[in-house]
Structure 1
Amino acid sequence: MRWKNTIDAYGGIPMLFHWLTAAAFIAAYVIAYYVIWIVDPDTSVKPPLFGLAPNGDRVVPILNIHWMLGISIGFLVVPRLLWRVFGTSPQPLGESRREIIAADVAHWALYALLIVMPLSGYMNTYDPTDFGLFVIPAFKDTSVFAWISSTLGVGWHDVEKPMEAIHRFTGKWVAWPLVVIHVGAALFHHFVRQDAALVRMLLGRATRWRETMP
């Protein structure tokens, strides 16, 4: 297995970044809406879904998993960006320059999303994130916030409220359209164009596809 990209296919490391990020992203969303719809007494659906009653004591422990995943996504995007900027990228498979530019814009929009969502989420979190082996303090308890507060003369709520608004808006109205476009484009290439856009991001299929290359 090749670990690095070539002009024809993705390597093992970019695949790992891609699928870890995708899994963490989906899990973070599932947990967030589980808390909103079922666990949090203030926002839960009434009558309770699936017979599960709200429980305020469970909100922070469950959200801690959401925060862990979000921060992990934020850290994963850094090597992904470095790999994209400084490494080889497989050649685009679009049939026109306009299509190639659109695909490139969509990819960079996804990278921006993977920065904005974790950053805005972290900056409006009241509680520390407990990873078990270590704890990341809440943003309001960091020296960075202390510097922002003293420099700009703002309090915690002056930062927390807009960050929460950005996080909620991006998560509700930006993230899913981008993901749907990304998945839809991959399926279009696979089933309609019948090219390698999707299979070259699948480990076993990519290996077999490479072996068929002249």
Structure 2
Amino acid sequence: MNVLATPPSVVPALTRYGSTAVAFHWAVAALVVFQGTLGLLFDDIPKESRAFWINVHGCVGLVYFALVIARLGWRTMHTPPDLPPDIGEFDRRTSLAAHHLLYVLMVLIPIFGFVAYVWHGRAFDYGFAKLNFGVASNPDVFHPAEEIHQVLAYCLFGLAALHAAAALYHHFIRRDGVLLRMLPGGTG
């Protein structure tokens, strides 16, 4: 038998997410970090500048929400690439459940934030335009909405941390290319 005639084993090419999915993923991740950090710092911000930063949080929150909705719309029309074939059933199911829960949280958090913001009697002031719904402050609405907004945000932080830890585990321990599928640029 001629060893040179034997074809080398074929390793399937890494199937990456497209550039739009990668851009959505990292833009949303950056906004979650920015919004989360800002939200956690509210109590430490001096009172005289707190209203400004709450406005920034609200205005960026609307942009974030629009981006999440655009991402969901885009995602419904584009199937994600298959996971590498050596990923087990438990990891596949866990990944799917975690991603669905991430999407649910990414939608619910800004909805409750919007309710808390508007029923606090606030307007979204972008400097060049102001979005005012003319709703009077109502503590019976904004207090529970703020609490739910905060609890869901902590859930998102925890789940996002697990998501990142799983990606790093797959990259550094399993070395299966899962993280490389979502990294910007090139094929890794």
| TM bucket, shorter chain | 0.7 to 0.9
- The separation in 2 between residues aligned to 1:91 and 1:137, in whole angstroms, is 44
**Residue aligning to 2:90:** 98
1:71 is aligned to 2:62: yes
User: Is contact 1:71-1:118 (8 Å) kept?
Assistant: yes
In structure 1, stretches of 5+ residues that fail to align are 1-6, 40-54, 142-154, 210-214
Query: Which structure has the larger Rg?
Result: 2
Amino acid at match of 2:146: E
1:14 is aligned to 2:6: no
1:203 is aligned to 2:173: no
User: Is contact 1:25-1:69 (8 Å) kept?
Assistant: no
Poorly superposed stretches of 4+, deviation over 6 Å: none
Alignment: residue pair count: 171
Q: Deviations over 1:42-101 (max 9, x none)?
A: xxxxxxxxxxxxx32211101111112222221111121122222121102462222211
User: Is contact 1:68-1:130 (8 Å) kept?
Assistant: yes
Shift of 1:31: 1.5
Q: Which has the higher contact order (CA 8 A, sep 6+)?
A: 2
1:180 is aligned to 2:158: no
1:136 counterpart (128, 131, 143): 131
Shift of 1:139: 7.6
Against the structure 1 CA distance between its residues 115 and 167, is the aligned structure 2 distance closer, same or farther, given a 3 Å change threshold? Answer: same
**Residue aligning to 2:141:** 159
1:108 is aligned to 2:115: no
> Over aligned residues, Cα RMSD in angstroms?
2.0
1:194 is aligned to 2:175: yes
